[in-house]
Amino acid sequence: MIIGVDFDNTIVQYDDLFHLLALERGLIPPDLPPTKQSVRNYLREIGREPAWTELQGSTYGPQLHRAIPFPGVLDFFTQCRTRNIEVFIVSHKTRFPIIGPQHDLHAAANDWLAANGFYDAARGGLTRRRVHFDLTKDAKLDRIAFLRCTHFIDDLPEFLAEPTFPSGVHRVLFDPNGSQLPADSPFVSVSSWPELKAMLIG
């Protein structure tokens, strides 16, 4: 078994951080629900798309250290390490923000992984060669095929449903909000990392 895992919104939980940073900048009213989607939708509705884009650059860059992992995700990596199951992080992530200060988003992500125990040999057990931040969606798809992943976990159903998604890979939607998939969906969904661990490694 070779497992590939997306990074943003799959390993890292951003809802609280997006809401907090938007409040700190005075971009949203205090009673807005504390989710990334609520912040994004609100700023788009009031015509502040550039503010949303810049907020993303800050969140994924210099403020990333304030984000937390989803519950159970580090334990999943630890269990894979102890059972000799190969795990890779494969993410579509630009190197620098589209607008705003040009922070290195790849370096910020690697620093976050190190600070949260994923590079700790006794915990997550990852090495840098198992972490890939690809600049385009197509490069991410090619990486999944090159690594010969048997399973891939992502939070975006539209990515998992890509016509060019590598054949033979078991696709798993990480969906903590528990959305209902159509009956003919080509992939399964889980709402938590403990559920995912039970499904894949027992």
Q: Is the CA virtual torsion 37, 17, 5, 200 positive or negative?
A: negative
Q: What is the reported pLDDT for 181?
A: 72
49/112 same-domain check:
no
165/126 same-domain check:
yes
Q: What is the CATH number of the domain that holds 138?
A: 3.40.50.1000
36/9 same-domain check:
no
Which residue type, as a one-letter code, is found at position 54?
A: E
Question: Given the structure tokens 């993410």, which residue do they identify?
Answer: 91
Q: Across 93-161, where does the E strand assignment appear?
A: 131-134, 151-154
Q: What is the reported pLDDT for 44?
A: 94
Task: Please write the tens of the pLDDT for every residue from 104-115.
Answer: 999 999 999 999
Which residue type, as a one-letter code, is found at position 98?
A: I
Reference 55, options 69, 67, 39, 34; nearest CA is 39
Residue 59 structural domain: 15-65
189/129 same-domain check:
yes
137/95 same-domain check:
yes
20/9 same-domain check:
no
25/76 same-domain check:
no
pTM (two decimals): 0.91
58/79 same-domain check:
no
3-state secondary structure at position 150: coil
Q: What is the reported pLDDT for 180?
A: 67
Q: What is the reported pLDDT for 179?
A: 73
Q: What is the reported pLDDT for 100?
A: 74
The list of the chain residues with pLDDT below 70 reads: 180, 183
Residue 174: phi, psi to the nearest 5? -90, 110
Q: What is the reported pLDDT for 110?
A: 97
Is the separation of the CB atoms in 12 and 69 below 8 Å?
yes
Is the separation of the CB atoms in 12 and 67 below 8 Å?
yes
Q: What is the reported pLDDT for 190?
A: 93
103/176 same-domain check:
yes
Overall domain count for the chain:
2
